[in-house]
Structures are given as structure tokens and as C-alpha cells.
Structure 1
């Protein structure tokens, strides 16, 4: 719990509670019909302020931005409070406290809305800056990875005859670097691709055909004739990655199954194998249940690639144990 965030959002709810008291007192005094209408409106607005505090606390904004929203609320109270104090001092009216509270509650809500839009504007600018930095970083990282992989491959040719075992190890490292480079490229390009309609059943059939050719892997596929989802061409990269993981980690003769099931509003694609499974620590990292540290950072970009691509389409990724004894990864995607 962050005390500053709690204090900022709590001030929004407290504003609603404080303004609610005189409004309820006026309603209980038996006002005329118009007073009842104003009172009910004031009660609803004040209760809205009370609820807004809880909503903003759970909102995906930083602590600083939560304080910013509370600041807009405070500004609205101060400015409107000063204006109405001067007005009612200049010309006293009956039930000034009631009218004062109704006006302040409406003004506070308006300023909270302004604060939320202000925070969204700031966040949009921050995201634009972050995306620009990441684009530059991705370009540099991909260039360096590709360059270093090429250097290693040249080194392999020089030592292959004299030391074949070392050459094989170096070549494997170069292949890993090349794969990381391709995964970084796929992630970057997936975020810049428009989401359209993709037949995931047809995509899985192509993945199965490629797996048989590339790895000699016999993948069992259970899928309907067609299963359109909201995705892009990079959905295939995510499914390819899961099948490749199974081929690499499930032993000499792995068993891999892909199951495609249509539900009411979604389509689930499950890739299961009989390998050693995905370590719990890595599943928790990719699922966001554990923070990345210098000691705990996962074994590569593969599962992150899967998660980021699927989430870009509004889907989700779930990890489980398969009936085959290995891992089962399910991609749930919105139906098109």
C-alpha cells in the first residue's frame, strides 16, 4: 500500500462525504419539489465522488498522477468555493449551504474528469517518448546481435577443422543470438501491425506442416475447419515459438499436440507436449506474478514473445501441465 496514493484518492472520497452531509440534511427538512430534485442530484453526484476515490486508487496510473487528479479536485473546490462564497456574501439567499454543497459537488466532479483527461494526455506523451526510445534501442540491439552472430559464424569456420566440438558450441551460441534477434524483430513489428481477421485453424495447419519439415516433428492437430480470430500475421510466430520449444526441450522423440476450440466469444489454442515442462519460476515471470531481477530473468525472449503478441490482440496466455506429462500453453483469442 502506498500512503501518498491512498491519501490522494481518499481525499476524493472525503470530498464527496463532506458535501453529502448538508445535502442530506436539506432533504430531511422537507424542501419543495425543486429542492428535492436538486437534493437528489447532489446526493448522486456526491456518492459518485465517493466512488471515484476507489476507482482512481485502482486505476492504472502512477502515484504522481493520482496526486495530480486529487490536485484538480482540490483546485475545483477552492476556486468554486471562493466564487460562491463571494456571491452569497454579496447577495444572501435561503439555504445557501445546501446550494453551496450541490454546486461544489458538481464542480468537483467536473474537475476530477479534467484531471483524469490531463493524466491520460500526459501518459500518452510519455508512451510516445518511450516508444521512440524503444524503437532506437531495438534497432541498435538487433544490429549488434546480428553483427556478433556473424562474427561468431566466421570464427566457427576457422576452427571447425582443428576443434569441431568447440566449433559446434560456438555455432550454437551464434544460432541463439540469431534467434533472439528474430524474436526482437517479431515483437517490434507485431506492435506496429493492424489487427484484422485471421483463421487460426489454417495458421495451425501451416505451423504443423513447417514443424514436420523443419524438425521432423509429427504434431497432432485437432481443429475445426475454420476458426477466425482478431489477430495479425504474427500470431503464427507465437504458435511457432511454442512448437519450437517443444521440439527443442522434449527429448529425441517428442509428442506435441495442438488443440483449437471455439467458445462463445473466444478461440483457445492449446499447445501441449510430453517434455520436462516450463519451470514454475519462468511461468511466474512471464505471467507477471514475479518481478524480473538480475538473478531471475527467464531463459529467453520466447515466452515473452508469445505473451506480448497475444496480449496485443486482446487475448491472454495461460500455463498448465499437459495430460502428456509436459507443458500446456493456452492462447485465448477474441473471435472475429
Structure 2
């Protein structure tokens, strides 16, 4: 029985063929707290496991082949000084790198005991943005709170939202204001900018949680931030900024001691 407890899935031959099951083992005890047996429940997870395996294989093959082909395309484009091809190859390569980064972050499971001092993380993001984007004008004023959250996921989410506000701003200077407040059950963070705003179609796919041919985002930044925030138990929403652009609102669960 202990072997079943330690296994994520087991396989059995059924009337539908070979199927995979998630075993759930529960002890049975009498009134004297003596173990008298076990109950075993098997949940058919075959379709789930096939989807997970398919996504893993396709993801790895696509990423490997994509990067390999892009290297070849870029090399030929450099020989002919074809700037548009070089630029698009670099963008696709960056997209592949970002997908790998998101995948690595989403695999983080052992985050027990992790804490985040919100002002420290926000200030680090602002400093990095200012260093990498000299034309950016980013300011932060957030409450002095500590979150029970994974630091890397939290920093990644804030970083993506601030960077999105800067790189998609077509003005001479990208103004970004990061503010925060403490609510009874949450810590609220708002990233506001004076850019063109986030297109409705990109907001819609994030809110709906799915993409299709007629409604899809142009990058992984918002998706990655949303996944990270959801993993932290938070929520992401969109409003209009008083600066004239977009305001992305993030709600983090409040630390009990705060």
C-alpha cells in the first residue's frame, strides 16, 4: 500500500484499454484509533497525462528547433545585411527564451517559508528598468509590507508589468507610477503609465484565460505575469490610468501578521 501512496499515477488494463489512474489511499481507524485497513480510490487521469506529455514534448521540440533554425536564418541575414529579418529573428529568439524562463518559474513548488519585502522588490525592478531604459521615468511609492510569497515569482510578475508599460510606450519618455495600499485581506499594487494603453483584445484574452485565432496577445509578458500572480494566490485586473494610459492592478493575499 505504501508503494501506491508514493506514486503519482498507476496503470491498469481496463475495458477501455490501458489507462492511467491517480491513486488516493486513506487509512481506516476504529474508535481506539487503531488502523483496521485502507480505502483505495482510483481517478482516471489518462487524458490529463496525455495532454501534459504532449505539451512537454511539443514545447521542447519546438523550442529546440526554433532556436536552431533562427540561428541559421540570422546568420544568412547578417551576410546580406537584411535588417528586418535580423530584427524579427531576434524577436522570435527572445520569445523562445521568455517561454523557457516562464516554464522554469512555473515549476517552482518548494516555496514554503518564502517572504517578500514589497518595497525592496519594487525598488529593484524600478532600478533595473531605469538602467536598461534611459528614457523611462519610473517612480514607486508602496506600503512597507512583507508578503508570504515566492520572491522570484513576485519579482518576475512586477518586472513584466513595469517593463510592458515602458517598452510599449511610443512617447519620448515613458512615465510609470507604481503605487500600493493595504486592504483588510490583501495588498494592492497598481502599475500605471501614460502610454497608449493595453489593447482590449489583449486584456480580454488574459481575463478569459484563453486565446483563439481572432483574439490573442502579442507577447508572453502579460501571460507570464498573470500566471505568476495566480500561482501566488493573487489576482490581476485592468483599469484606465489617470496618467492617460493603462493601470494594471494586482491584488496579493495579505500576510496574516500584517
Normalising by structure 1, we get a TM-score of 0.57
Alpha-carbon separation, structure 1, partners of 2:215 and 2:203: 11
| Structure 2: runs of 5+ lacking an equivalent | 1-38
Report the CA distance shift for 1:155/1:261 in structure 2 as closer, same or farther (over 3 A).
Answer: farther
Aligned to 1:82: none
The answer for the alignment partner of 2:44 in structure 1 is 122
Q: Which residue of 1 aligns with 2:98?
A: 183
Cα distance change, pair 197–130 in 1 and its aligned pair in 2 (3 A): farther
Q: Would the aligned equivalents of 1:186 and 1:234 in 2 still touch at CA under 8 Å?
A: no
> What residue is the counterpart of 2:201 in the other structure?
281
Q: Distance in 2 between matches of 1:191 and 1:126?
A: 21
CA gap of 1:199–1:146, structure 2 versus 1, over 3 A, is: farther
The Cα shift of 1:295 comes to 2.5
**2: CA distance, partners of 1:152 / 1:248:** 25
Higher fraction of helix:
1
Match of residue 11 from structure 1 = none
Paired residue for 1:143?
64
Do the aligned partners of 1:230 and 1:335 also contact (CA within 8 Å) in 2?
A: no
Matched, 1:200 2:118: yes
Q: Could you say which residue in structure 1 is the equivalent of 2:26?
A: none
Query: How many positions carry a matched residue from both structures?
Result: 211
SS at match of 1:311: helix
Q: Which has the higher strand share?
A: 2
Change (3 A) 1:182 1:200: farther
Relative distance call for 1:145 and 1:331 in structure 2 (3 A) is: farther
Aligned residue number for residue 106 of structure 1? none
Alignment of 1:1-336 (within 5 A): 121-123=43-45, 126-160=47-81, 166-167=82-83, 169-194=84-109, 195=111, 196-216=114-134, 217-251=136-170, 252-288=172-208, 292-336=211-255
Deviates more, 1:198-207 or 1:277-286: 198-207
Deviation (angstroms), 1:147: 2.0
After TM superposition, give the deviation of residue 212 of structure 1 in Å. Answer: 0.7
Query: Aligned in 2, Cα 1:152/1:256: closer, same or farther, shift over 3 Å?
Result: farther
Residues 207 and 156 of structure 1, relative CA distance in 2, 3 Å threshold = farther
Deviations 1:28-79 (A, max 9, x none): xxxxxxxxxxxxxxxxxxxxxxxxxxxxxxxxxxxxxxxxxxxxxxxxxxxx
Shift in alpha-carbon separation, 1:328–1:152, aligned structure 2, 3 A: farther
Partner of 1:22: none
Cα offset for 1:126? 4.3
Structure 1: give runs of 5+ residues left out of the alignment: 1-113, 161-165
Q: Equivalent residue of 2:163, what SS?
A: helix
SS at match of 2:149: strand
